[in-house]
Structure 1
Amino acid sequence: MNLNTKIIAGLSRISEVFKVLLWEQAKNLKLSPIQIQILNFITYHKQELCNVSYLAKEFNVTKPTISDAIRVLVNKELLIKDFSSEDNRSYTLMLSLKGRQIVNQTENFADPIKEQLDKIGEEDLESLYKTLATLIYQLNRSGILDVQRTCFGCTFYKADGGRHYCHFLEKELLDSDIRLDCPEYEEARVG
């Protein structure tokens, strides 16, 4: 096997570990993995992204799948539908107090992975991070990954001879400062 094939196999194994850890959390809380992912997403993202259409795109599932998960979360009083827009059919989602408590219990589900990363040298971690950020951006640009909010695709980002600059933060960025999920992300116009 060549190196690319080995890396793909390794990423697949890590993906499996992530799924197993998420399933364990989900079973303990009587939720599905997608329901936990929705709760965590809503916690850390702008409210305008917290709607059925965007969540379906974010998690690469159908709108009915997201709608079903949301229905359960609303019934369990973990989410609140906010109909404050002008369109009565449209709503965004917010966490309830009970939902915040669940997020507090679930947000550390990947700690076993973090513990192993703590054992890897800083230089190797920085190299891995740079590679992951680039791969995510390239997968998005090739149409394989629908959603990405990395610096590389942001209107505020500027690259100059291997150096990175963020016009929003008004500062130069190190490779390790590149964000994979930036809250200030605004998609750059292509072309």
Structure 2
Amino acid sequence: MTKSAFNIKQQETNLTSKIVVGLERVSEAFKVLLWEHAKAIGLSPIQIQILIFIAHHKQEYCNVSHFAQEFNVTKPTISDAVKVLVNKGFVVKEYSSTDSRRYSVFLSDIGQDIVSQTEGFANPIQKELNKINHSDLEMLYKSITNLIYGLNKTGQLSVQRMCYSCKFYESINKNHFCHYLNQKLNDKDIRVDCAEFELNK
């Protein structure tokens, strides 16, 4: 019990405990903002997240199996969410030509309108980040990318499309290099969600 990050006494002397609690508070703010937008248009938070995800990612990622991994929820939960989005006319199913049970989804015109209304839900958080000086932001970003990569390696995050796991990435003398772009990357250039990502197998 005394080793819990949420133990007040431990937080007094342990910086990582303070950071864990701080990240939890940011996570709460994120959830509150998402819920506010969800209630305003009669959708659940996961339904909004699915719509926003579809708007900004390749269609090969836009299926029930991938959504379940992306958002760390069960396939039945995702199936129910997608069913509601289909019934409301926000997304359209496109069935596989080789397997009639498999399908991907893409946004309808109405779905695109919903994304335009909701995808800025995290703007208040971004606004606060913009108040932090640039060098501190770069240090924060480096720490976050290392944290995400570590959580992915240990199985706490099932999906991530960042440089460190990409087949195009190489660390050369502790410097980052992208073979897709054919250029050296600074810490701030590391991508958390890259459109060109291909898993390094």
TM-score, normalisation: structure 2 = 0.92
2:102 is aligned with 1:123? no
**Separation in 1, partners of 2:126, 2:57:** 22
Does structure 2 conserve the Cα–Cα contact (< 8 Å) formed by 1:85 and 1:91?
no
Of the three residues 173, 177, 185, the one matched with 1:161 is: 173
**Separation in 2, partners of 1:27, 1:162:** 46
Of the three residues 148, 153, 156, the one matched with 1:141 is: 153
CA RMSD in angstroms comes to: 0.8
**Separation in 2, partners of 1:162, 1:105:** 42
Shifted more, 161-170 versus 16-25: the winner is: 161-170
- How many correspondences in the alignment? 189
Once the two structures are superposed, the pairs formed by residues 31-46 of structure 1 within 5 Å of their partners are 31-46=43-58
The answer for the alignment partner of 1:62 in structure 2 is 74
- 1:162 Cα shift? 2.5
Matched residue type, 2:64: V
- 1:84 Cα shift? 4.0
Larger radius of gyration: 2
**Separation in 2, partners of 1:101, 1:183:** 23
The answer for the alignment partner of 1:27 in structure 2 is 39
The answer for the alignment partner of 1:81 in structure 2 is 93
Shifted more, 168-177 versus 57-66: the winner is: 168-177
The answer for the alignment partner of 2:7 in structure 1 is none
- 1:161 Cα shift? 2.2
Q: Which runs of 5+ in 2 are unaligned?
A: 1-10
The answer for the alignment partner of 2:198 in structure 1 is 186
Does structure 2 conserve the Cα–Cα contact (< 8 Å) formed by 1:47 and 1:92?
yes
Describe the superposition over 1:55-77 as per-residue Cα deviations: whole angstroms up to 9, x where unpaired.
00100000000000000000000
Instruction: Give the % identical residues.
Output: 58
- 1:143 Cα shift? 1.1
The answer for the alignment partner of 1:15 in structure 2 is 27
Does structure 2 conserve the Cα–Cα contact (< 8 Å) formed by 1:130 and 1:175?
yes
Q: Runs ≥4 in structure 1, deviation > 6 angstroms? A: none
Q: Which runs of 5+ in 1 are unaligned?
A: none
Describe the superposition over 1:111-146 as per-residue Cα deviations: whole angstroms up to 9, x where unpaired.
111111111000010011111111101100111111
